[in-house]
Chain A
Amino acid sequence: MKPAPSTVALAAIAALVCGAKAGQRVEGRRPVYVTSVAASLVEQGLAALAPAGAEAAAFEAVPHPRIRSVPTVARATNVPWVDSNGWRFQRGIKKANYAKLPAGVAALAAAEAFTFNVDAIVDPDPADVDELGKMLRFLKANDQSPLPAMANVGVVDDRSAAMGEVLNMLTRHNLLYRVVSAPDPALSFTVQLGTPDFPSDAAKNPVEFAARVRAKLGDDNRLVRLYGTSTVLARLTGDGKRARLYLLAFDRNGRRQADDPQAVRVRVLGWYRASKLAAYGAAPDTAPTDLRHIGNTTEFWVPSFNTITIVDLDADASAVLDSAYAAQDFELEPDPDSAEWKTAPRVVAGVDRSGQPAPGPPTEIRSRWTKQHLYLLYVCPYTELNLKPNPTPTVETPQLWNWDVAEAFIGSDVEHIGRYKEFEVSPQGEWVDLAIDRDDPKGQEGMKWNSGFTVRSRIDARAKIWYGVMRIPFRSIDARPPEAGRELRLGLFRISGADPRQRHVWRPTGTDSFHVPQAFGTLRLR
């Protein structure tokens, strides 16, 4: 790579100071390139000098991010017009050139590129160099290996201008999407022009089109919701164990004036704890507040911030059931005090589907595993049993869930979390196993599928506790042989009583159904 003649001297300085040449990535973080006006930032090791020639040409010019107030029918809208390049980056631009930036936007441009993980040349107004330096220092301090982008829906991009504006509106409304070449069953649905749900004419009004996508998805299913703002864009990345949320503020050129500890209420699908909050312009000890787990979501306040906030989230440890290894398979004995079960790791299903405490003592679930099988033991205190008359435990019992029953939903396909297996055992030793495919309900095997799992149950009428134990062949739930450290997706549930009919849940689903794989926890073999 060759630096531009006009920047040779500065490149040499940069090479002396930080060992970088023009156009070369600064080690350890994604590159931000600056033009000569910000050479001081190169000297400080915060940026690399902008490339030239063919390499520079690979950087596509993008407009500067900004916010505008556009009048509507009644008055100037309260929802300003946000001009973000997020949709261009989602569409495929990986190298962006923010050329000839007006004063006041260089830091926002750098933050935008960082948020969407693109290489960028930032050509700041001279007045912005100090602020840009502060921003680059902040971004450098909070850089990490990028996590996969999380999305609710897929969009087949026909590269038309109309679709470009649709992508813009989806970005603008924080409807998280991924550009795909074909429908991806791992996503809730795919937006494709010319399909019944998304006729081509609909794209003529991108705002209404985005509303159509939003309505089809349903606000409750959105990966991220933001309350308290209409000028912050969200990008969520994650790998199932942890997530990183980027919040990009466009208001007042990215500057929030008020010192408000409750500036934005964030709702993220899934159970997380916030391990870190880094807010540009805020005190180092700034933290999210009023964190709540509601249904299958996590909510918290983010205080007022300037331009960008990064929230690191860890999957809640309470969402993990460890399974203890046993060298040999053992008899199915529904006895929690037996040698196999006495010290086994356990979790409880003590809430209802919405996360409110369920009446009575919680249901306890313990787990062990061997090279061949996964074992689950349910300890189920009860008030009254709701038992199926004339039980037939020697054969599979359809619709066993209409009676007292303990259930396990287990999935191994993290790319298609809607595919999992369902196992049930009743107090009378009845059982049912099903193969579920939420992405293809008509095609799923359902009850035709047979896992070969075995169960035993015992009712202690004096203590009013029933016990159920399952032995599940690993080959029925995972194509891979089991090994320590392996993680599977797990939902644990129980239904008890007849009037009222009570649901006992480990991880609240937030809806009437247990079949919400986004709310599943993790089974970890140890």
Chain B
Amino acid sequence: MDRREFLAAMAAVPVLGVQPRPIPDYRIVTNYKPAAQPGMPGPYRGRVVTVHSPRCIDEVTEQVDVPTVRAMIARGMTTLTGDKDPRDSWARFFNAQDFVGIKVNASGAPGAMSMPEVVAEIANNLIAVGVKPTNIVIHERGAGQILLPHYDRFVPAGIRVESANTWLGLDPDVYVDANFFGEEDTRSYLIRMVTEQFTKIVNVPNMKDHGASGVTGCLKNIAYGEFNNVARSHYHAQTETLTFIGTLATVEPLRSRTVLNIMDGLRGVWHAGPFSRNRKFRFYPKQLKFGTDPVAIDRFLIDIIDDKRKKEGVISVWNRDMKYFSTNPEDWDRDPNMNRSIREPGHIEYAATLGLGVYDTNQIHHTELTI
């Protein structure tokens, strides 16, 4: 199914209500060529490993159990690669010559974020295979939110916490130009850390609902989190998140260098994401997902968020009925049966049409473990 057929198919589904918008005229500008095997979907296309542990986080105190997280990451990586020793698993992706960016998600911090304990364990594994601490950068695009989790307190000395505002800025030569709603500012630039510093990226999203894109997982974290001027896609009731997220994720060198996705599902947000102002919308999936295929991982994220919403007796992330739409953001913030935008969880299936991974669960090899 190509992209046009995909949209046509979506428009034909009667329960969707509001029709998808036509695909914007995207112009991708980059001088970077894809790697022989781009990081996404990478060597483990259509493969997801989920490691559960009831002990990984305390639902009352939200304290993370570090030894458990360490064990979860070790099992997840070895199960993904088939190695016995976790170091061998990590060495498949990283070596001493690499400069690694750890792309976290801190947009809902402190209530929702890539947990510092998870990030620290990832950093420890990178160091174990020879990556110099000074060649590891925990980063976000924006400066404001990344300071809230205090990652620096959890990771070995030398590892830096940066944003595009504090280091290197934007790359003027790599951007996606698209006019969505008649805006003048039509460019979204890739941050320069990705183009000029990182040889590899570990993508560490967490499990969240998103008022515009439906859910925010691997794809949205790596796309909207590494490019600027992305919020313009969802300032209106009907958004362009359906196609923009996947399009950004295909841009080189981002696509080639994002070699590993570890989704932090210790704690999640089932409504009013990507933020977590109201704790009543938080929940605790108590799991980590591993893979190189962001589409396959995100495909399961939809179910996790939507199943939780069903359990709470509220509308699905797929609901496109305008009767659940409010122009008042406070309605959406308070009431899980209100939308602030028409959610587009279909962005994950759309990304599959761009070659970023496997969406069909029948074709995804999913291994679930509990420790």
A residues in contact (CB < 8 Å) with B: 71-75, 77-79, 173-174, 207, 211, 219, 225-230, 258, 260-262, 265, 290, 292, 299, 301
Contacts and interface: CB of A to CB of B under 8 A. Distances in A.
A260 B235 contact: no
A230 B172 contact: no
Contacts of A292: 172-173
Interface stretch (B54-62, B71-79, B182-190): B182-190
Contacts of B150: none
B146 interface: no
B337 to A, nearest CB: 18
Nearest to B188: A227
Interface in B188-215: 189
B80 to A, nearest CB: 38
12 contacts: A73-B327, A74-B327, A74-B340, A74-B341, A75-B327, A78-B232, A78-B235, A219-B186, A227-B187, A227-B229, A260-B165, A292-B172
Contact of B235 (A74, A211, A228, A290): A74
A75 B172 contact: no
Given A73-B237, A73-B327, A229 B185 contact: yes
A262 B169 contact: yes
Band of interface residues on B: 20 to 34
A301 B184 CA distance: 16
Contacts of A174: 184
A73 B322 CA distance: 13
B249 interface: no
Given A72-B236, A230-B183, A230-B185, 4 more contacts: A71-B327, A73-B327, A227-B186, A228-B229
B329 interface: yes
Nearest to B187: A227
A230 B182 CA distance: 12
A86 to B, nearest CB: 15
B170 interface: yes
A226 B172 contact: no
A79 to B, nearest CB: 7
Contact of A262 (B170, B182, B183, B186): B170
A314 B3 CA distance: 45
B231 interface: yes
Nearest to A227: B187
Contact of B184 (A226, A260, A262): A226
B340 A261 contact: no
A262 B232 CA distance: 18
A228 B185 contact: yes
Nearest to B237: A74
B116 to A, nearest CB: 26
A262 B172 CA distance: 9
Given A74-B237, A75-B340, A219-B186, A261 B327 contact: no
A290 B196 CA distance: 14
B354 to A, nearest CB: 24
Contacts of B182: 207, 211
